[in-house]
Amino acid sequence: MKKISLSILFISALIFASSCSKNDPTPEEDQEEVGTAKLIFTEVERESHGDHYHYNDIENAETDTVEFSGSTLLPPVGAHLHLEVGKTYRLELVATDFAGRETQQTFISRADIHQAFILNAPENSLSYVYADKDADGNSVNVGVTGYLTVDKTADSFVFRYVLRHLNEGVKSKITAADWNNTNFTQFTGENDLDLKVEVHLVEEDTHDH
């Protein structure tokens, strides 16, 4: 009788453990881990509307893409972009996790703790406007998508795109005018991305890419 009782208790324990295992929540995957990244520059038309601009797609628009890979997300050796004065480019980030799934929308869905900064351009050589939309179609300032206008020529420099993961409450201190704030680390947090590529701002692109 004792042997039967012990057997029943053992089987019951196994069933209970199995049941608990099935009911345990699956650990949440970190969708912000980045395996690869791309910066895509697509020429668009900038149309003036009073105190703001509309940005229109161009048929057969010129597009330059820089891919960043490896553990430190480096561009290809010798990567060098030429952007033309007077032109506007839609600048888009595409990021994938280590399984190859696109993850840039995660940054937009968490707009309250993410902000991109564009750094190192000579003073007054570039203008930038955030152009992100959340799932409800509302405008949010993140920098996954934005419009970059070349205002004047500049010698080659290291274009730096930083996507910052902010501490709680910090985002409220940032305005759209901070897009190129060299003191961006005052907005406490950590960098999710720090992408760098050489860029040359030219009157007319007569160089071979």
What are the pLDDT digits (tens) for 67-111?
999 999 999 999 999 999 999 999 999 999 999 999 999 999 999
Residue 65 has pLDDT above 80, yes or no: yes
Domain hosting residue 197, numbered range: 36-202
For 126, residues 6+ apart whose C-beta sits below 8 A from its C-beta are 118, 148, 149, 150, 151, 180, 201
Q: Is residue 143 part of a domain?
A: yes
User: 60: domain CATH number?
Assistant: 2.60.40
pLDDT of residue 73: 96
Q: Is residue 10 part of a domain?
A: no
Q: Is residue 105 part of a domain?
A: yes
Q: Is residue 157 part of a domain?
A: yes
pLDDT of residue 27: 34
Q: Is residue 209 part of a domain?
A: no
Residue 179 has pLDDT above 60, yes or no: yes
Q: Is residue 180 part of a domain?
A: yes
Q: How many domains in the chain?
A: 1
Q: Is residue 188 part of a domain?
A: yes
What are the pLDDT digits (tens) for 103-122?
999 999 999 999 999 999 99
Q: Is residue 40 part of a domain?
A: yes
Average of per-residue pLDDT across 7-12: 44
